[in-house]
Amino acid sequence: MDLKDVFSLLEDNARRTWNPLGVREIKCGEWAKGLGLSERGEYLLYTGCLYQMVPDIEAFSGILKRLESAGKTVFSVSLKITRALNKLGLDLTGIYTTIAVSGERRERFSAVLRNIVRALRSVGIEPAYMREEPYNGVLYHDLGLDHLFEPHARRLAEKIRRTGAKTVITVDPHTTYALRHLLPEVVEGWDVEVVHYLEVLAERGYQPTKRGGSAVIHDPCYLARWNGVLDQPRELLDRAGIRLKEPEFSRRFTGCCGGPIESLLPTIASEVARKRVKELVEAGSKRLVVACPICLVNLSREAREFGAEVLDISELLG
């Protein structure tokens, strides 16, 4: 694999769609259909498009993993073909994912976001949304592609400002991190308040439906370490009557799901995820609860082998 090819593909996609996988912003906003959300308001629910991209990420990294094991040349050639098709306006990743990803699969991730809207409404918040929802830009930053990240971040900040929101409510930890810690470095005068929806729900005394049962909690790195959100998910799950089990590595010492390197080193990413699932299952339940779309993809893939099920926290907070 030639790093240059990967970078070029991301650059092409960024130029075409402002999204690293070429997912259109109008598709990112589709989850809100029928909810009657406004496009302007005091509170903006901004998803960063990450939950919506889960099926695309799964499909894309599936291809990458096969290419990785087929060797370097195949990988580079495939990326070059992908780029060539992109230039002709044929989106190979898009075509592949449209075929490979069932509507049902996409529906699960829309449902995650819709659950969150329902919960926010029940504590008195009517969030606005963006019909054409931009990606959060974190991958560009992580890979050191500042020449892609910086214009992306400025455009994102401008789009958020245009909604008139004073507070942005985020749903995935990477977006929370980007808006809290990265945007202020890049965007002049960025002073919008950023809160994660679990912080909002915990603070406003949200009461989820009582469910019972037990689950092992997995803290996402970006939520626990980079944003310090540790007690809120535990408190909310407790209110839902769920008996929580803590793995050996938890809270600030939580273990990564492998996700951040799955696009470059998919085999290592999957080994990291497998080890983490094992640690989680050893805590005493096969029901694993996460609060991040990337953790959800990576741990779910490996959980099958252990007969475990991975749920997004919002799926237990209805």
Partner 1 sequence: MAMDLADVSRLLVKASKDPVLRTGLDRSISSYWKKRKAIFGRYPYVEELARQVREIKERSISMMEELVKQAKESVEENGGIAYVAKDAEEARKIVGEIVGSGRMVIKAKSMTTEELKLREYLEELGNEVYETDLGEFLVQFLGPKPMHFISPSIHITREKVAEFLERFMGESVDKDDVEGMVALVRKFLREKYFTADVGISGANVFAADVGGVFLIENESNIRLTITLPDKYVAVVGMEKIVPTLGDAWKVVEVITRYGGYKVTSYVSLITRPSEASSGDLGPKEMHVIFLDNGRTEAAKDPVLRETLYCLRCGACQYLCPVFGIVGGYWSGLGSAYSGGIGVMWSYITEDEERASYHSFACLLCGRCKEACPVKIDQARVLREIRRRMAEKMARGINPP
Which residues in this chain contact partner 1 in the complex, by CB under 8 A? Answer: 1-4, 6-8, 68, 71-72, 75, 141-147, 221, 225-226, 248-249, 252-256, 258-261, 264-265, 267-268, 271-272, 275-276
Q: Which of 179, 317, 182 is nearest to 238 (CA)?
A: 317
Considering the complex, what minimum distance in angstroms separates the CB of residue 258 from partner 1?
7
Distance of CA 33 to the CA centre of its chain: 20
Question: Contact at 8 Å (CB) between 153 and 182?
Answer: yes
Question: Contact at 8 Å (CB) between 49 and 19?
Answer: yes
Pick the closer one to partner 1 by CB: 167 or 267.
Answer: 267
Q: What is the DSSP string of 230-244?
A: -HHHHHHHHHTT-EE
Pick the closer one to partner 1 by CB: 132 or 142.
Answer: 142
Pick the closer one to partner 1 by CB: 3 or 99.
Answer: 3
Pick the closer one to partner 1 by CB: 82 or 97.
Answer: 82
Pick the closer one to partner 1 by CB: 175 or 254.
Answer: 254
Indicate the SS3 state at residue 111: helix
Considering the complex, what minimum distance in angstroms separates the CB of residue 11 from partner 1?
9
Pick the closer one to partner 1 by CB: 164 or 228.
Answer: 228
Considering the complex, what minimum distance in angstroms separates the CB of residue 275 from partner 1?
6
Considering the complex, what minimum distance in angstroms separates the CB of residue 219 from partner 1?
11
Considering the complex, what minimum distance in angstroms separates the CB of residue 142 from partner 1?
6
Pick the closer one to partner 1 by CB: 200 or 223.
Answer: 223
Considering the complex, what minimum distance in angstroms separates the CB of residue 36 from partner 1?
38
Pick the closer one to partner 1 by CB: 234 or 276.
Answer: 276
Considering the complex, what minimum distance in angstroms separates the CB of residue 255 from partner 1?
6
Q: What is the DSSP letter of 316?
A: G
Structure tokens belonging to residue 13: 């996609």
Give CA–CA dist 254/275, Å, rounded.
12
In the chain, beta strands by DSSP E: 43-46, 167-170, 193-196, 214-217, 243-245, 287-290, 309-312
Q: What is the CB neighbour count within 10 angstroms for residue 252?
A: 11
Question: Contact at 8 Å (CB) between 280 and 300?
Answer: no
Considering the complex, what minimum distance in angstroms separates the CB of residue 293 from partner 1?
16
How do beta strands 309-312 and 287-290 pair?
parallel
Q: What is the DSSP letter of 83?
A: H
**Residue whose pair of structure tokens reads 């004073």 in the numeric block:** 166
Question: What stretches of 129-258 show up as alpha helix (H) in DSSP?
Answer: 138-142, 146-162, 173-177, 183-186, 197-203, 221-224, 231-239
